[in-house]
Amino acid sequence: MLSNIEIARAAKPKPIVEVARGLGIPDAAVYNYGPYKAKIDLNWLSRLDRPDGRLILVTAVTPTPAGEGKTTTTVGLGDALNRIGKKAVICLREPSLGPCFGMKGGAAGGGFSQVIPMEDINLHFTGDFAAIAAANNLLAAMVDNHIYWGNALGIDQRRVTWRRVVDMNDRALRSIVSSLGGVANGYPREDGFDIVVASEVMAIFCLATGIDDLVERLGRIVVAETRDRKPVTAADLKAHGAMAVLLKEALSPNLVQTIEGNPAFVHGGPFANIAHGCNSVVATRAGLKLGDFVVTEAGFGADLGGEKFLDIKCRMAGLRPDAAVVVATVRALKMHGGVGKEDLGAEDVAAVKRGGANLVRHLHNLKRYGVPVVVGINRFGTDTEAELDAVIEAARGEGVAAVVCTHYAEGSAGAEALAQHVVRLAESGAAQFAPLYPDEMPLFEKIETIAKALYGASEVTADKAIRDQLERYELAGYGNFPVCMAKTQYSFSTDPARKGAPSHHVVPVREVRLSAGAGFIVVICGEIMTMPGLPRVPAAESIRLDADGNVVGLF
C-alpha cells in the first residue's frame, strides 16, 4: 500500500480555477496561490443570494492511538455525495505545524480520501496561521509598549492576561519571564506562550462573519485589567485596526480539491481540546451558498469538537445541522474495551462490545441536540465480520444505523452507502436542532450541564477564586456567553487513561479565561495545556527532503 503522501503526489489535480468554476465562482473572484490552491474573494462571497444547502457534521468517538479517521471520512463522504450526483462541498480546518511535527504527522485525510496539495496544506499553506500569529503578537507588543511609555491606561502589570503565540509545540515557552536585560527593555513580568490554534485571535478569525465583524471582535479582546479591576481592551490600545489589516487577506477562505477533484474549503484551525475546534464560519457559509451539501468536521470526539460546533459555532452563526456522522473504528472501540495497541490485530469481539459503550454515549449525547445521526465505520484490513457486527449492534441499540465504509482504500466508492444514508437523513426533515443549554443559564451551571449531561460526571469542582471570577464575568455582561471546555481529548473524564464511558467522575476546573472577542468563556479542566509539548520521538525526526527535493515523512 502506498503512503498517504505518495497517493497524494500521484494524483492528477485540476487547475484550481476549474474547481472554482464548478461551484459557479468566476475567475475574477479566484486569487491563485499557484495552480492548485486559491483564496476566494470575500466581497464576492458576501453578495451571494442563494438558498443554503444542507449541513452535515462529521464527528467521532473518543480518540485513541489506534486512529478513527474523521478527516478521512469527511473527505470520503464529500466525494461520495458528489459521486451520487449531489453538489457537495467539504469544509475542513487547516492543520497546525505543532501536530504535524509532533505526534500526528499530516492532517489532510488519508489513503484515497485526501485533500491536495497535501504537503502545502500541512505546512505553510497560504500563510493564514502566520497572519494570525502576527496579529496576536502585535497586540502583545502593544500592551508592553503602552506600559513602557507611561501606561496612560493604568494597566496593572500583574493582571496582563494576553499571551504570545507560536505555531509549534514548545513546552519551554509555557511560562517565561519577559523584558529582562535592563530598563531599555521594559518592565520584567511573568508571561507565556500558547500555540496559535489555542489563541483567541484564531477563535475570532473562525467565528467572524466578515471584515466588519472581525474588526469589532478584535476590539473587544480584553488584554489586562487596571488596579481597580477595570478591563483594558485591544480597542483601548488602538490595536484592533492594525490587527485587522494583518488578517484581511487571510479571512478570505482557501479553496483546494480532493484527490477526486471535488471542492474543499480548508480555512482556520482551532484545536477542539483547548479551543472550539471548527473551521471558519466564512468558509462554512460559502459552502452552504455554493453547494447542495456541506460536509464539515469538528475536532476530536463528539464531546469536544462536536459539542462546541453545536453549542458555540451553530449558536453564534445561526447554523442548523441537518445530520451528523459519528466515525468509529473497530480498533478504537477495542482500545476503549481494554485492548492494548500491540494486540489490535487479533479478533476480540468482547472488547469491541465493551468499548461500544463509548460509541453509545456519543450517540446518546448527540440525540440531545435533535440532530439525526448515523455511524460511519471506518474499516481497517484487520477488522473481522463479527467485530463489525458488534459495532453495528451497539449503534442499533440506540436506534441508529451503522454503515461500513472503505473510502481509505477505495475513495468515493467506499463511502457511497454512507452518502445515500446521509442524504435520506438530511432530506427527511427530522432535524430539530437546539443547543444543550440556554444563553441565560449562569456560567457555572453551563459547565455543570456539559460535564454531567455529556461527560457522565457526578460533580464539577472549582475553588472560590474561580467561582468569584465567573461571577465577575456575569456582572460585567458576559453571562450569556457559551462556555468552551478545555480538557483531555482522550476520555470523557479529565483523566486520559480512563477509556470507554466513565461515569460518576469529578471534573476539576483549574482556570477560566475570558475570550470577549470570540464571545465565550474558556474553562480549563484537569491537566490540559494550551501549549503542547513534543513527544519523546516527534514526527519531525522522520520528515525530510529526498534527493529530488520532495517532502518525505508526512503521513
Q: Assign residue 150 a region (left: φ > 0; alpha: ψ between -120 and 50; beta: otherwise).
A: left
Q: What is the pLDDT of residue 3?
A: 84
E strands, 218-348, are: 222-226, 231-233, 254-258, 263-266, 293-297, 323-328
Question: 432: buried, middle or exposed (CB in 10 Å: 19+, 13-18, 0-12)?
Answer: exposed
What pLDDT band is residue 415 in, cutting at 50, 70 and 90?
very high
Query: Could you say which of 3.40.50.20, 3.40.50.300, 3.40.630.10, 3.40.50.11540 is the CATH number of the domain covering 4-127+250-427?
Result: 3.40.50.300
Q: What is the pLDDT of residue 104?
A: 63
Rounded Cα distance between 180 and 161, Å, is: 19
Q: What is the pLDDT of residue 106?
A: 65
Strand partners, 31: 39
Q: What is the pLDDT of residue 105?
A: 62
Q: What is the pLDDT of residue 506?
A: 98
The model's pTM is: 0.95
On the question of pLDDT at 517 being above 90, the answer is: yes
**pLDDT, tens digit (0-9, with 9 covering 90-100), for 238-274:** 999 999 999 999 999 999 999 999 999 999 988 888 8
Q: What is the pLDDT of residue 555?
A: 72
Which has more confidence, 532 or 402?
402
Q: Which CATH superfamily is domain 443-525 in?
A: Formyltetrahydrofolate synthetase, domain 3 (3.10.410.10)
130-244 is a CATH 3.30.2350.10 domain: no
Q: Let me know: does 450 contact 483? Beta carbons within 8 Å.
A: yes
Percent of the chain past pLDDT 90, that is, above it, reads 89
In a 13 Å sphere around the CA of 371, the CA atoms on its Cβ side amount to 34
**pLDDT, tens digit (0-9, with 9 covering 90-100), for 109-157:** 999 999 999 999 999 899 999 999 999 999 999 999 999 999 999 999 9
Q: Let me know: does 364 contact 370? Beta carbons within 8 Å.
A: no
Q: Three-state secondary structure along 511-553? A: EEEEECCCCEEEEEECCCCCCCCCCCCCHHHHCEECCCCCEEC
Mean pLDDT along residues 29-44: 97
Strands 164-166 and 231-233: unpaired
Q: Which three cell numbers stand for residue 124?
A: 505553510
Question: 46: buried, middle or exposed (CB in 10 Å: 19+, 13-18, 0-12)?
Answer: middle
Q: What is the mean pLDDT of the chain?
A: 95
Query: Measuring CA to CA, which residue among 172, 163, 92, 94 is closest to residue 130?
Result: 94
Strand partners, 298: 278
What pLDDT band is residue 330 in, cutting at 50, 70 and 90?
very high
Query: Residue 117, preceding bond cis, omega within 30 degrees?
Result: yes
Strand partners, 505: 457
Rounded Cα distance between 377 and 531, Å, is: 32
Rounded Cα distance between 189 and 180, Å, is: 9
Mean pLDDT along residues 61-75: 92
Query: Measuring CA to CA, which residue among 418, 423, 424, 381 is closest to residue 402?
Result: 418
**pLDDT, tens digit (0-9, with 9 covering 90-100), for 154-203:** 999 999 999 999 999 999 999 999 999 999 999 999 999 999 999 999 99
> Which sequence spans correspond to the domains of the chain?
4-127+250-427, 130-244, 443-525
Main-chain dihedrals φ then ψ at residue 521, nearest 5 degrees: -105, 125
Q: What is the pLDDT of residue 64?
A: 93
On the question of pLDDT at 389 being above 70, the answer is: yes
Q: What is the pLDDT of residue 554?
A: 78
